[in-house]
């Protein structure tokens, strides 16, 4: 088992997960509560965060608590290769939010480049009309 962990650690020396959190704050969908800010980079501790599946299965609750507490991903290996990642729910939601914002920005940039724009006065008139409905 130790040899398997060492092999996984060697294979993942360069692994680093990045979660760019806009404004550094995760927002609760209800809007009432703010969650603590996540670090911009989620580095993996090669000794603690890469585990073989058999160890992961035997100590699932321990690894779930570790991911919750550290905000670092847990990489699960099978046959010496990375197979799955366990993420804290706050980190997962932050990544999802970032991806959604990036898609919206990419769409807006493509619309702008293609000339699909609306003059400010026209957009404000349309927005005000929508808000009155």
When divided into structural domains, the chain yields a total of 1
Average pLDDT over residues 89-103: 95
Q: Residue 28: which CATH number?
A: 3.40.1620.10
What's residue 72's pLDDT?
95
Parent domain of 98: 2-132
Q: How much is the CA Rg of the chain, to the nearest whole Å?
A: 21
What's residue 133's pLDDT?
81
pLDDT in tens, 36-61: 455 556 789 999 999 999 999 999 99
More confident residue, 6 or 120: 120
H or E segment and range at residue 85: strand 81-86
Rounded to 5 degrees, what angle do the CA atoms 8, 45, 65 make?
105
More confident residue, 24 or 31: 31
pLDDT in tens, 63-95: 999 999 999 999 999 999 999 999 999 999 999
Q: Indicate if the pLDDT at residue 35 is higher than 90.
A: no
What confidence tier does 107 reach under pLDDT thresholds 50, 70, 90? Answer: very high
Q: What are the beta bridge partners of residue 84?
A: 76
What's residue 42's pLDDT?
72
Please tell me the distance from the alpha carbon of residue 18 to that of residue 39, in angstroms, as a whole number: 9
Residue 11, classified by CB atoms within 10 Å of its CB into exposed (0-12), middle (13-18) or buried (19+), is: middle
**3-class state of residue 32 by DSSP:** coil
DSSP H helical segments within the chain, as ranges? 2-11, 53-58, 60-70, 89-113, 120-132
Q: How far apart are the first and last CA of the chain?
A: 65
Q: What are the beta bridge partners of residue 35?
A: 26
pLDDT in tens, 2-20: 554 444 444 333 333 323 2
More confident residue, 23 or 130: 130
């Amino acid at each position: 088992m130790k040899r398997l962990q060492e092999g996984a650690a060697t294979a993942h020396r360069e692994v680093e997960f990045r979660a760019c959190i806009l404004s550094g704050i995760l927002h609760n969908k209800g809007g009432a509560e703010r969650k603590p800010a996540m670090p911009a980079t989620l580095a993996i501790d090669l000794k603690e965060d890469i585990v073989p599946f058999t160890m992961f299965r035997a100590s699932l609750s321990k690894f779930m608590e570790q991911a919750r507490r550290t905000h670092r991903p847990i990489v699960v290996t099978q046959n010496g290769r990375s197979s799955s990642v366990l993420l804290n729910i706050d980190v997962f939601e932050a990544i999802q939010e970032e991806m959604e914002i990036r898609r919206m920005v990419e769409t807006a940039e493509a619309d702008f480049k293609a000339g699909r724009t609306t003059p400010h006065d026209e957009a404000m008139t349309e927005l005000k009309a929508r808000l009155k409905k």
